[in-house]
Amino acid sequence: MNSRRDSVQRSLTGSILNRNLRVLVLHPQDDDGLTLTSHLRRVGFNVETRWPPAGVLSDNVDLVFRALLPEERAPKDEWLGPDAPTLISVVAFENPTFIDQAIKMGSDGIITTPIRASGLLATIVMALRHAKQARQSAQRIASLEQKLLDNQQLREAKAILMLMHNFSEPDAYEMLRAQAMAKRVTVDDICRSVIQAGAVLQLHARIRSADSGSID
């Protein structure tokens, strides 16, 4: 029995549900608001409700449901932004105006009134998963961009040293690494210093042209 359990992969949905999610429902206390909150509680989430939506959020909210009222043209809540929790918009009319509005607010999912219990869990799981993936992707892209920049600087710094001292590439790298060790900073910091020095000594232009293969 245990061996069978071990062989089964852990359910993605189960792992999302097991996190004891804290859900904030920004919705008027009408029929739809009640259906929504009571189903979220039925599932076992920690549910808080608030209306009107003004104000900041407490730090530990995982998921927000936000009603987009037809009278509101372009809601701009204080808490919206890149670090906002996962957001599911609740719209009364499933038309391009409201769908666009939900997208502009950064929603990870949309549900339409009248709210039904069926379909809610699937939307929550997909929204949380996509929001998490999007966040992870954004972080990964940021770190790759940094790496690309560092690489570029390393290449430039090595080229400066090779030109100044007639070093081979491995020697140039070894020198940068040794300097970093001695000064207790990163290789990237040393690279930046070398490039700055190179700029002062006006070596840049010559390296750039050497780099691109045109020899003067």
Q: Does 29 bind other proteins (CB under 8 A)?
A: no
CA-nearest of 66, 126, 131 to 102 is 66
> Please, which residue, 82 or 114, has the CB nearer to other proteins?
114
Site for other proteins in 111-130 (CB under 8 A): 113-114
Q: What angle do CA 196, 187, 162 make, to 5 degrees?
A: 60
Element (DSSP H or E) covering residue 199: helix 187-200
Q: Which residue has the tokens 């790298």?
A: 173
The residue count for binding other proteins (CB under 8 A) is: 13
Q: Does 103 bind other proteins (CB under 8 A)?
A: no
Site for other proteins in 38-77 (CB under 8 A): 70-71, 73
> Please, which residue, 94 or 145, has the CB nearer to other proteins?
94
CA-nearest of 96, 120, 93 to 109 is 120
CA-nearest of 152, 157, 156 to 190 is 157
Can you say how many angstroms the Cα of residue 38 is from the centroid of all Cα atoms in its chain?
A: 31
> Please, which residue, 61 or 69, has the CB nearer to other proteins?
69
Residue 47 region, left (φ>0) first, then alpha (ψ -120 to 50), else beta?
A: beta
Q: Which of 12, 31, 103, 183 binds other proteins (CB under 8 A)?
A: 31
According to DSSP, the residues that pair with 111 across neighbouring strands are 90
Q: Which of 42, 44, 93, 139 binds other proteins (CB under 8 A)?
A: 93
CB 73 to other proteins: min, Å: 7
Distances in Å between the Cα of 173 and the Cα atoms of 136, 153, 189, 197 are 32, 12, 13, 17
**What token pair was written down for 177?**
């690494």
Q: Does 92 bind other proteins (CB under 8 A)?
A: yes
CB 91 to other proteins: min, Å: 10
> Please, which residue, 95 or 168, has the CB nearer to other proteins?
95
> Please, which residue, 73 or 76, has the CB nearer to other proteins?
73
**What token pair was written down for 173?**
């790298």
> Please, which residue, 93 or 178, has the CB nearer to other proteins?
93
Q: Does 94 bind other proteins (CB under 8 A)?
A: yes
Q: Which residue has the tokens 């379909």?
A: 119
CB 28 to other proteins: min, Å: 12
Residues in touch with other proteins (CB under 8 A)? 31, 70-71, 73, 92-98, 113-114
